[in-house]
């Protein structure tokens, strides 16, 4: 096994360089992410596009939450090592 942790042979989550790797590393640790958290943490403003690409290899659920008149989406990773 190489020093860097490779997920499914495609993603380096030890030293993430792409937005997909950054979000995947975060999801592996925290299980969920919102657009606001992605903006705050990674300055990613199109989280839905990153999630769309990650869904090619991972089971990521979308859950809409209503707070007052606003609706936001939480993305939940379902992944067994």
Q: Domains in the chain and their CATH numbers?
A: 6-78 (1.10.10.10)
Q: Which ranges constitute the DSSP H helices of the chain?
A: 19-30, 35-42, 47-54
Tokens for 14?
């030890």
51: which DSSP letter? H
Across 6-10, 63-67, 70-74, 75-79, least confident range: 6-10
Count CA atoms within 13 Å of residue 77 on its CB side.
Answer: 20
- Contact between residue 20 and residue 27 where contact means Cβ atoms under 8 Å apart: no
Specify the pLDDT at position 43.
Answer: 97
Specify the pLDDT at position 22.
Answer: 96
pLDDT, tens digit, 9 for 90 and up, residues 8-17: 678 888 899 9
Q: Is the pLDDT of residue 4 over 90?
A: no
């Amino acid at each position: 096994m190489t020093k860097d942790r490779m997920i499914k042979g495609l993603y380096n989550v030890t030293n993430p360089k792409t937005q997909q790797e950054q979000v995947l590393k975060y999801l592996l640790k925290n299980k969920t992410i919102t657009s606001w958290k992605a903006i705050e943490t990674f300055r990613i403003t199109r989280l839905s596009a990153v999630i769309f690409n990650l869904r090619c290899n991972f089971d990521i659920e979308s859950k809409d939450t209503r707070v007052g008149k606003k609706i936001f989406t939480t993305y939940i990773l379902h992944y067994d090592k």
